[in-house]
């Protein structure tokens, strides 16, 4: 089956009918930053179907929002202090080897650069429960976790091949968005987490069963954090699924994921909208370096 997937191009599902694109109104008062807490090697064949272009190492991001009333909000948590201490302990030897994982400073340590501590983090919004997005939650025991109910259930079981290692969130409670705040931009449904339009989550299943996109309204621009709906920019630009091996082994339902990908594609080039794939190497140069605000 794997050989068949590698040999043929993917048969793509039909693109969704998007209608007229209406963007949400700007919201004042939110500051957005991003930090690369680790890097991994990026295989072009895995990153995108038909991919051949050499890719530099891929960033593992944590995005930090300073919300005027909710305090510090993280979008994804990357790997944390446990990985910095010993990657073989978390995410484990298999993931460390296959990703060629190189850990930098975890977010719990980086926060000192903006005069904050891990206790200041009030919320963590997870795009999905893969270790490179969720492992760092352990460093923020007082934060409220926001994760889809579907991913939370799915992520309770260790799934080494799928990149799930639940020891980082064992015993934690989580809140699950209900996506009943109507459409936003090209997406059919979303949840407005704080009721002020600053942080909206959009269901985007496929990469994992309960993946979500996080749409953040900054002071000047909005940021659409795709999680791993696309790993690299070419995936969104050309509306391409991941490579055959990734589709066959890692992703839960890549055809389902194409719906969110096609909708994210419609946002490219929209004024004031930054679409941010999960691990695009060139994004490290596109955005200001930590701790500069975006």
CA gap 74, 140 in Å, rounded: 10
* In the complex, least distance from residue 207 CB atom to Zn ion, rounded to whole angstroms: 6
Beta strands in 42-116 (DSSP E): 58-67, 71-75, 102-103
Q: Which residues pair with 61 in a beta bridge?
A: 36
**x-or-dash pattern for Zn ion, window 162-201, by CB under 5 A?**
----------------------------------------
The stretch near Zn ion (CB under 5 A) out of 32-40, 78-86, 122-130, 279-287 is 122-130
For Zn ion, the closer CB: 118 or 210 = 210
* In the complex, least distance from residue 38 CB atom to Zn ion, rounded to whole angstroms: 14
Closest by CA to 200, choosing from 16, 265, 174, 188, is: 188
For Zn ion, the closer CB: 228 or 252 = 228
Tokens read off for 124? 């963590």
For Zn ion, the closer CB: 130 or 242 = 130
228 in contact with Zn ion (CB under 5 A): yes
Cα dihedral 278/279/285/288 (nearest 10): 40
274 in contact with Zn ion (CB under 5 A): no
The residue count for the chain: 294
The stretch near Zn ion (CB under 5 A) out of 33-41, 44-52, 146-154, 226-234 is 226-234
242 in contact with Zn ion (CB under 5 A): no
For Zn ion, the closer CB: 37 or 111 = 37
The stretch near Zn ion (CB under 5 A) out of 30-38, 65-73, 177-185, 223-231 is 223-231
* In the complex, least distance from residue 196 CB atom to Zn ion, rounded to whole angstroms: 28
279 in contact with Zn ion (CB under 5 A): no
* In the complex, least distance from residue 227 CB atom to Zn ion, rounded to whole angstroms: 7
Beta strands in the chain (DSSP E): 31-40, 58-67, 71-75, 102-103, 121-125, 144-146, 191-192, 199-203, 212-217, 222-225, 273-276
For Zn ion, the closer CB: 34 or 91 = 91
Q: Which residues pair with 40 in a beta bridge?
A: 58
* In the complex, least distance from residue 130 CB atom to Zn ion, rounded to whole angstroms: 4
For Zn ion, the closer CB: 91 or 118 = 91
Beta strands in 18-148 (DSSP E): 31-40, 58-67, 71-75, 102-103, 121-125, 144-146
For Zn ion, the closer CB: 76 or 274 = 76
Closest by CA to 189, choosing from 178, 176, 199, is: 178
For Zn ion, the closer CB: 24 or 44 = 44
Omega cis (within 30) before 283: no
CA gap 105, 204 in Å, rounded: 29
280 in contact with Zn ion (CB under 5 A): no
Closest by CA to 151, choosing from 192, 191, 193, 205, is: 205
The residue within the footprint of Zn ion, chosen from 130, 190, 242, 279 (CB under 5 A), is 130
Question: How many residues bind Zn ion, per CB under 5 A?
Answer: 2
Residues at the interface with Zn ion (CB under 5 A): 130, 228
């Amino acid at each position: 089956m794997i050989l068949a997937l590698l040999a043929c191009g993917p048969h793509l599902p039909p693109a969704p009918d998007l209608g007229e694109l209406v963007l949400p109104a700007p919201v004042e008062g939110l500051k957005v930053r991003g930090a690369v807490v680790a890097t991994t090697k990026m295989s072009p064949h895995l990153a995108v179907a038909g991919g051949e272009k050499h890719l530099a190492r891929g960033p593992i991001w944590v995005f930090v929002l300073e919300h005027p009333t909710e305090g510090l909000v993280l979008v994804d948590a990357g790997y944390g202090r446990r990985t910095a201490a010993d990657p073989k302990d978390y995410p484990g030897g298999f993931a460390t080897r296959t990703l060629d994982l190189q850990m930098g400073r975890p977010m719990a340590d980086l926060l000192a650069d903006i005069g904050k501590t891990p206790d200041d983090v009030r919320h963590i919004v997870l795009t999905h429960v893969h270790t490179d997005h969720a492992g760092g939650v352990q460093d923020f025991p007082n934060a409220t976790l926001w994760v889809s109910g579907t991913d939370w259930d799915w992520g309770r079981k260790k799934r080494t091949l799928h990149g799930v290692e639940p020891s980082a969130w064992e015993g934690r409670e989580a809140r699950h968005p209900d996506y009943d705040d109507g459409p936003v931009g090209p997406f059919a449904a979303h949840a407005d987490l704080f009721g002020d339009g600053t942080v909206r989550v959009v269901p985007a299943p496929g990469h994992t069963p309960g993946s979500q996109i996080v749409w953040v309204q900054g002071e000047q621009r909005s940021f659409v954090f795709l999680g791993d709906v696309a790993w690299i920019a070419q995936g969104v630009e050309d509306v391409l699924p991941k490579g055959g091996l990734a589709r066959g082994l890692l992703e839960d339902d890549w055809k389902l994921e194409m719906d969110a990908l096609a909708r994210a594609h419609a946002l490219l080039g929209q004024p004031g909208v930054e679409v941010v794939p999960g691990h695009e190497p060139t994004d490290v140069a596109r955005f200001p370096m930590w701790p500069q605000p975006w």
